Each structure stands twice: as C-alpha cells, then as structure tokens.
Amino acid sequence: METLKNYINGKWEVSKEQSTTDVVNPATQEVMAKVPYGAKTAEDLAKAVEAAQKAFQSWGQMPVMKRVQPLYKLKQLLEDNLEDLAKTITMECGKTLAESRGELQRAIENVEVACGMPVMIQSEFSENIAGGIDEFMIRQPLGVCGCISPFNFPGMIPFWFLPYAIATGNTFVLKPSEKVPLTMQKVFQLIDQLDLPEGVVSLVHGGKETVDAMLDHPQVKAISFVGSSKVAKYIYSRGAANGKRVQAQGGAKNPIVILPDADIEISTQIIADSTFGCAGQRCLAASNIVTVGDKNGTIKESLYESAKKRTTGYGLDEKIEMGPVINQASLKRISTLIDQGVDEGGKVLLDGRNAKISGFEKGNFISPTIIENLPLGGEIVKTEIFGPVISLIELNSIDEALEFVNSNAYGNMACIFTSSGANARKFRSQANAGNIGINIGVAAPMAQFPFSGWNESFFGDLHGQGRHGVEFFTQTKIVVERWPKEWSRKF
C-alpha cells in the first residue's frame, strides 16, 4: 500500500515520519493509501518552509505578469484532468461525481480570477497631495504562507488561497486534510509540470503536529485555515500570538427561511438540494429550515416529498444523488444528534438512519432525514450536524424568523425564499450572517467575491477569494514623495 510522499522544493520526498493513518473510501471502506501522521511531520514542514523561504527571495521580485503565467497552464491542466480528479474526490470524500466536478470548476474559477493579478494588485496614487508631494501605495508579498484545509472540499478549498498567494509573490505550503489527501497529491503532480521555480509551492502531509509546526515557525508569515470552529479558533489564537496574519474559516449552522409567498415547489426543491447536497457536509448546507405561517403544512409536505425521493449510494454511480458521510465516527455523531433531538421532544418525519445500500453495506450511509417539533434552544438546533438532516422549525412571522436566525452562534449563511422584495430586503439587511441567499439555497460567493462568514464561522479580518485574497496576501507600503524643482539640474 502506497504511503504518500510530500512535495518539497520541487521534488517528491518520503516523509521523515514512519507512522501513518489510512485514507479510507467512505462508501466501500477500502483503504486507498496511507498518509504520514505523527510528530516527525514537523521536520517535513520545516524543510518545506526553508525551501519556500529561499524561493521567496526571487519569486517575490519577479514581475507579476510573469508570476501569473504558470496559472494559465495550471487552469488548462486542471481542465484536462478534471474527470480523473473528480473520480478521486468521489472515492476519497464520498460526494457524487457531479458534485466533485462542480467543486473543481470552482477551483478553476479561482485560478482564472488570480490570473487577473496584474490589474488586481494595482493600487492607489494621489498626485500633489500637498505642495508638490505625491503619495502612493504599493502592495508587496508577505513571504511564506501556510494553508490548512478540511476534508469536505479536497479539490476546491486549497484554491481559495493558492493562486492568490503565489500570484501576489508569496510562496505557499499546503497541508491538506489527512482524511482526503489524494486529490491534492494528484493536483501537485500537475503543479510539478508547471514552469514554477522550486520551492514556490509545497505539499506536506500530516495532522495536528504538522499544523502546530506551521503555527510556530517564525518564517511562516500568514496562515489560511478552513475547518471546524473549535480548530479555527485555536489556529487563529496561536497563529496571531506568534505574530502571523491569520484567516480562519470555521463551521456553520445555516438557517433558511421560507415565506408562504414563495414558489413552494421550486423553493423546497432548492432547499432540499442545499441540505442534502454533499450529504450535508458543506459549510453552506441548510440545516434549520424555518417555515413561516405554514398553517396547513403545504411547505412541510413539499419538503418531505422532495427529500424522500432522493437516491443515496456510491457517488461513482451517475444516477446517485447523495453519497456517504466521511467516516463511521461522523455517522455515529449524526445519529446521536438525531437521538438527542428525539429526547428533546422532536418527531422524526423522515428517518434516514440505518440506510442500507445494496453492494455497499459497509458504507457510511445515512439517507435524507427530517425532524420537527424541536425546541428552539435544543441541541440539534444549535449544533453543526454536517450530515443530511433538516430540523424543521415553524414560526409565525418574518420578525420571529429573523430573531431565530440571529440567535445563531455561527454566521456563515442565512437565506430567505419569498416573492416579496420588501421582505427580502429586510432579511438581507438584518440577518447576521456573512453570506446571504435570496431565493438561493447555497449562497456560495463566486471566485471574484470574498467567501464571507461571521461570528463563530470566521476568525480574522480578510476572507478567502477575490479582492480579499489580494489584500490578505500583501502588505501595503505607502510612499510619500517630493521632487523639488530647485533640486533638479537645469538642462
């Protein structure tokens, strides 16, 4: 069985760490590879940072137009290898092939946006700001930047950062999730074909020890993290205490409000896609669905019908609409939360627990589940489930709905379905969340916009993607300049 190698200084290298953890296909339980996991991965990390620091000396000085050239080729390589990468994502992460292709498309879009860096990095200039003085701002790279990514979007999330970091002149060290390292392993085989100087991008496998080494390394200037809130908070605190710039995106608990004036059939279909897409393992998955004034249960009925007919199975089968969750521990956690909801008085309207998929009996499957009658402060209503479960909440007015939405400790996304512009506007303005959807179920910002997030969903200031990517990966320098006439030689 293959133990994955690191990619350091432009070469594939065996890790210093001999202990490994298994990469397991969540549908079949087949062990796909072994990944280095243990204290000595810190040495691998240090070696990658050393190479990145050396590479930075010349990469950071290279004209931006030259720095973006490898990104054009990377886009082409990602497109040419999209099917193979999508299959890898489905096999190690569990999502359907259509979902895997979709996340790769989002990755490519970030490469495309970063290709615009020659224009994006341009800054401000003011002539004659006072008595013949000109003033301008330039953006310069930070140095070595580290990235730590989660399991649920193995192909996309590193691309929220990597293209912006290197196009702005930084060097970049990535530690992917140890649960799904194979996608980036393949992406780095493509990166190896680029005309990039050695050390500009590196891949180091591992877990907490690798992360801690990154957080403590004095030459790492910035950290981009995406994962659960608990770890995000830890990364932010430890990284910032060590003087680093940190952007740490955390977990979520996303509410969607549906008003009776919405198109019920279309809206409930979109809402079901939001909850059950990627088996609910999306930071923008809808979790608490709030119906307003649904006295005769029309919305509930439509949501139930939409959820019930979804097919669960192995994502490599194109007919499947929902794959397994990542591992047995996650499956157990989701079932325990549902049990807790029932203990709190909840009624399971649609029960996806103990889903048995023919031919994949060992897979981590749970089918769409809906639970209602939950107390508003209950555990399942507050906790991130990260599985295909709708908590159905019935309220009487948009004000009650907004109060509920704003009681959320997280703030990744909040959505409303309505045909009323006035209600949509009120919601957009008053909902406390970083990403708002109006008649949209997954309010994922496109690459040219920052991927926002508030409260426990984000620690830091500047988010990933778009202009925030440029700002996060550069430090500003202000130049105040005077050229007195009388100092010039006369010709």
**Which single residue brings its beta carbon nearest to ligand NAD?**
227
Residue with token string 């010039």: 488
Show the tokens assigned to 261: 């004036």
What is d(CA 69, CA 52) in angstroms, rounded to the nearest whole number?
A: 19
DSSP 8-state symbol, 490 = P
DSSP string, 199-213: TSEEE---SHHHHHH
Closest CB 392 distance from ligand NAD, rounded Å: 21
Residue with token string 């690191």: 6
Question: In a 3-state reduction of DSSP, which class is residue 153?
Answer: coil
Closest CB 37 distance from ligand NAD, rounded Å: 9
Closest CB 261 distance from ligand NAD, rounded Å: 31
Residue with token string 């989660």: 150
- Candidates 138, 125, 143; CA nearest to 221 is 143
Nearer to ligand NAD, 299 or 415 (CB): 415
Decide if 283 is catalytic.
yes
Show the tokens assigned to 152: 């649920």
Residues lying near ligand NAD in the complex (CB under 6 A): 148-153, 175, 177-178, 207-208, 211, 226-228, 231, 234, 249-252, 283, 384, 386, 412, 451, 453, 457
Which residues in 162-296 belong to E strands, given as ranges? 171-175, 201-203, 220-226, 245-249, 254-258, 286-292
Nearer to ligand NAD, 348 or 440 (CB): 440
Contact 41, 73 (CB under 8 A): no
Show the tokens assigned to 133: 């003085």
- What residue type is 393 in one-letter code? I
Closest CB 443 distance from ligand NAD, rounded Å: 12
Give the angle 257-263-264 at the CA atoms, nearest 5°. Answer: 65
Nearer to ligand NAD, 96 or 247 (CB): 247
What is d(CA 469, CA 450) in angstroms, rounded to the nearest whole number?
A: 7
Nearer to ligand NAD, 210 or 268 (CB): 210
Nearer to ligand NAD, 178 or 294 (CB): 178
Closest CB 286 distance from ligand NAD, rounded Å: 13
Nearer to ligand NAD, 149 or 288 (CB): 149
Q: List all residues 6 or more positions away from 325 whose beta carbon is below 8 Å from its beta carbon.
A: 26, 94, 279, 280, 281, 331, 334, 364, 365, 366, 386, 387, 388
Nearer to ligand NAD, 68 or 174 (CB): 174
Question: How far is residue 134 from each of residues 128, 171, 216, 428, 484, measured CA to CA in Å?
Answer: 5, 32, 40, 41, 11
Please pick, among 115, 278, 283, 415, the residue that the annotation labels catalytic.
283
Contact 292, 395 (CB under 8 A): yes
Question: How far is residue 116 from each of residues 63, 108, 201, 448, 452, measured CA to CA in Å?
Answer: 13, 13, 20, 10, 21
Nearer to ligand NAD, 391 or 412 (CB): 412
DSSP 8-state symbol, 470 = H
Give the angle 315-227-464 at the CA atoms, nearest 5°. Answer: 100
Q: List all residues 6 or more positions away from 400 whose beta carbon is below 8 Å from its beta carbon.
A: 292
Closest CB 269 distance from ligand NAD, rounded Å: 23
The residues assigned a catalytic role are 283
